[in-house]
């Protein structure tokens, strides 16, 4: 038996998306850039994927640029501050961003740009005043994640973006944990760039996109052929792109049903854990990605809990799965000041639509058994 409860790390491929992939890997495998008729289907698939994805986030098709995933999209957004030769190249971001943003910022810093890492409150929320305070004439970009990958906290993106725009500063959001899970409308948010990754919404791994609002001044990321409107060269991964579009369309259709289901599972899990009289705290704000629970058990060891749960067939994570080799206390838990006696005992349970009430009850029982043994 296996209970998969680590959907923030990755998700199972949607079956329709799998069928779509097979078609473009085995049958319609022509290079989308070739002029002959055999490539027509691949070309059409790219066009149609752009339309489908754009519809899901209320963008225009020509504002969607395919990339190799969230990490590349984030790197492109951050490093564009350097590439386009503007004298302004300073960046404001937060202390709780994913390493795809933080490490890209470190690179930018080495090239002479200043990066301000704003703090968060104890729920993981970024204050508008902290962004306002740090905007100077040298700031080019504000990059704030839509939802955090460890604690799930959702930020006030529309308001943060409006603060940046009021000072003529571009706004990017890393929405890797949000796209396909909560409704996203780029026109309503008014963001200039938004990163997404297919494997977080039941698409294949190694594919994603960067939304770039029309007329945003941003330089190309990969030089070579003319693919992606000359902005990101390389033969298109048509099978994965087509599958990503199918997965996103399906997830967006099911969202209305999935969100209450996930919230119900969260409530049951918390209630069960309280029922076992375990001493724990739930990190992050109530406004968070449905199904994402960061739980800190007093005087426990998250690492031990993860391995013992694994032996019982349950997959969860400590901190962030993208960072499993890093055994330090996570920068996110540090930023939200989780008390010392709780912080080491933190695990992230991220539930998916296919998880059941029985499964979350079993998870709670397993945690209790481990902690009380």
Q: How many residues bind ligand PLP (CB under 6 A)?
A: 14
Rounded alpha-carbon distances, angstroms, from residue 243 to 2, 49, 52, 228: 26, 8, 11, 18
Q: Which candidate, 46, 56, 19, 53, places its Cα nearest to that of 234? A: 46
Taking the least distance from each CB to ligand PLP, the nearer of 207 and 300 is: 207
Start-to-end CA span in the chain (Å)? 22
Assess whether 315 carries a catalytic annotation. Answer: no
x/- site string to ligand PLP, residues 78 to 117, per CB under 6 A? --------------------x-x-----------------
Task: Tell me the window of 64-72, 219-227, 295-303, 334-342 that interacts with ligand PLP (CB under 6 A).
Answer: 64-72
- Residue (of 123, 178, 192) closest to 8 by Cα position: 178
Interacting positions 298-337 with ligand PLP (CB under 6 A)? 322
180 binds ligand PLP (CB under 6 A): no
CA nearest neighbour of 117 among 107, 129, 105? 105
Dist. CA 50–CA 141, nearest whole Å = 26
Task: Pick the catalytic residue from 89, 113, 322, 368.
Answer: 322
Q: How far is the CB of 279 from ligand PLP (least distance, A)?
A: 29
Q: Burial, 16: exposed, middle or buried (Cβ in 10 Å; 0-12, 13-18, 19+)?
A: middle
Residues 202-231 that bind ligand PLP (CB under 6 A): 208
Residue 149 contacts ligand PLP per CB under 6 A: yes
* Burial annotation 272-304 (CB, 10 A radius, 16+ → b, else e): bbeeeebebeebbbeebbbbbbbbbbeebbbee
Q: Is residue 7 a contact residue for ligand PLP (CB under 6 A)?
A: no
Closest by CA to 198, choosing from 190, 186, 206, 187, is 206
| 152 touching ligand PLP, by CB under 6 A | no
Residue with smallest beta-carbon separation from ligand PLP: 70
CA separation for the pair 251, 354 (Å, rounded) = 12
> Which one, 266 or 323, has the nearer CB to ligand PLP?
323
Stretch that binds ligand PLP, among 66-74, 157-165, 275-283, 328-336 (CB under 6 A): 66-74
Binding to ligand PLP (CB under 6 A) within 237-256 occurs at none
Binding site for ligand PLP (CB under 6 A): 69-71, 74, 98, 100, 145, 149, 174, 176-177, 197, 208, 322
List residues with catalytic annotation: 322
């Amino acid at each position: 038996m296996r209970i998969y409860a680590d959907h923030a790390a990755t998700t199972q491929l949607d079956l329709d998306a799998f069928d779509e992939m097979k078609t473009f890997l085995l049958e319609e495998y022509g290079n989308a850039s070739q002029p002959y008729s055999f490539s027509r289907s691949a070309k059409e698939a790219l066009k149609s994927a752009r339309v489908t994805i754009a519809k899901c986030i209320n963008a225009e098709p020509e504002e969607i640029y395919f990339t190799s995933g969230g990490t590349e999209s984030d790197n492109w957004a951050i490093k564009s501050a350097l590439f386009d030769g503007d004298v302004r190249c300073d960046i404001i971001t937060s202390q709780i961003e994913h390493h795809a943003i933080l490490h890209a910022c470190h690179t930018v810093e080495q090239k002479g740009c200043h990066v301000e890492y704003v703090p968060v409150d104890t729920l993981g929320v970024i204050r508008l005043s902290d962004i306002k305070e740090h905007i100077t004439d040298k700031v080019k970009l504000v990059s704030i994640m839509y939802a955090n990958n460890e604690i799930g906290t959702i930020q006030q993106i529309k308001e943060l973006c409006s603060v940046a725009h009021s000072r003529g500063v571009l706004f990017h959001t890393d929405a890797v944990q949000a796209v396909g899970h909560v409704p996203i409308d780029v026109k309503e948010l008014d963001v200039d760039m938004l990163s997404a990754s297919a494997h977080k919404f039941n698409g294949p791994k190694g594919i994603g996109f960067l939304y770039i609002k029309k007329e945003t001044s941003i330089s190309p990321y990969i030089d070579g052929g003319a693919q992606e409107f000359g902005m990101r060269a390389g033969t298109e991964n048509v099978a994965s792109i087509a599958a990503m579009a199918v997965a996103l369309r399906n997830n967006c259709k099911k969202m209305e049903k999935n969100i209450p289901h996930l919230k119900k599972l969260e409530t049951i899990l918390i209630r069960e854990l309280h029922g076992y009289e375990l001493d724990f705290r739930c990190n992050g704000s109530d406004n968070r990605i449905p199904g994402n629970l960061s739980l800190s058990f007093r005087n426990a060891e998250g690492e031990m809990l993860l391995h013992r749960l694994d032996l019982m067939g349950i997959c969860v994570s400590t901190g962030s799965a993208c960072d499993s080799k890093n055994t330090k206390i996570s920068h996110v838990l540090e930023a939200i000041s989780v008390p010392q006696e709780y912080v080491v005992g933190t695990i992230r349970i991220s539930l998916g639509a296919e998880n059941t009430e029985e499964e979350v009850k079993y998870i709670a029982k397993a945690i209790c058994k481990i902690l009380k043994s």
